[in-house]
Chain A
Amino acid sequence: MTGLRKTMQIGSLAIRYDRAAAIGALILLAATGALAILALSIGGYPLGFNGLVAAVSGRLEGMDSLILLDVRLPRLAAAIISGLALGAAGALFQALLRNPLATPDILGFTAGAGCGAVAVAGAGGASAWLLTGALSGGIVAAAATFLFAYKGGLSVYRLVLVGVGMSFLFSGVTDYLLSRTDLLTAADAAKWLAGSINVQGWSGIAIPAALTLLMLPLVVWLQFLLDRMRLGDDMAVALGVPVNAARWLVALTGIALTAIAVSVAGPLPFVAFISGPIAKRFVGTGSATVIPASLVGAFVTVAADIAARNLLGFVQLPTGIFTALVGAPYFLALLFLRSKSGQI
Chain B
Amino acid sequence: MTIEKQQDRLGAQNLTVAYGANTVLPDMTLSIPDNEVTVIIGPNACGKSTFLRSLARLVSPSGGQVVLDGKNLAKHPSREVARTLAILPQIQSTPDGIRVRDLVERGRIPYQSILRQWSRADDDAVARALEMTGLSDHAERYVQDLSGGQRQRAWIALCLAQDTGILLLDEPTTFLDIAHQIEVLELIRKLNRENGRTIAMVLHDVNLAARYADHMVALKDGQVFSSGRPEEIITEAMMVDVFDLRCKVLPDPVRNTPMIVPL
Contact = CB atoms under 8 A, between A and B. Distances in A.
Interface in A177-225: 220-221, 224
Interface stretch (A42-50, A153-161, A233-241, A290-298): A233-241
A2 B102 contact: yes
A13 B98 CA distance: 25
Nearest to B86: A238
A179 B79 CA distance: 55
A14 B98 contact: no
A63 interface: no
Contact of B102 (A5, A7, A232, A239): A5
Given A237-B58, A237-B78, A239-B82, A14 B95 contact: no
B53 to A, nearest CB: 8
Nearest to B168: A238
Given A12-B116, A14-B118, A232-B92, A240 B98 contact: no
A238 B89 contact: yes
A231 B118 contact: no
Contacts of A241: 78, 109
Contacts of A235: 89, 92-93, 106
Nearest to A228: B109
B78 A286 contact: no
A97 to B, nearest CB: 14
Contacts of B79: 240
Contacts of A7: 117-118
A286 B98 contact: yes
B96 A239 contact: no
A93 to B, nearest CB: 18
A3 B106 contact: no
B119 interface: yes
A33 interface: no
Nearest to A238: B87
A5 B105 contact: yes
Interface in B96-111: 96-99, 101-103, 105-107, 109-110
A237 B57 contact: yes
B81 A240 contact: yes
Contacts of A232: 89, 91-93
B95 A238 contact: no
A15 interface: yes
A318 to B, nearest CB: 37
Contacts of B94: 231
A7, A14, A15, A220 pick with most chain B CB within 10 angstroms: A14
Nearest to A242: B78
3 A-B pairs with least C-beta separation: A240-B82, A240-B79, A3-B99
8 contacts: A2-B102, A3-B99, A7-B117, A14-B117, A232-B93, A235-B92, A237-B78, A238-B58
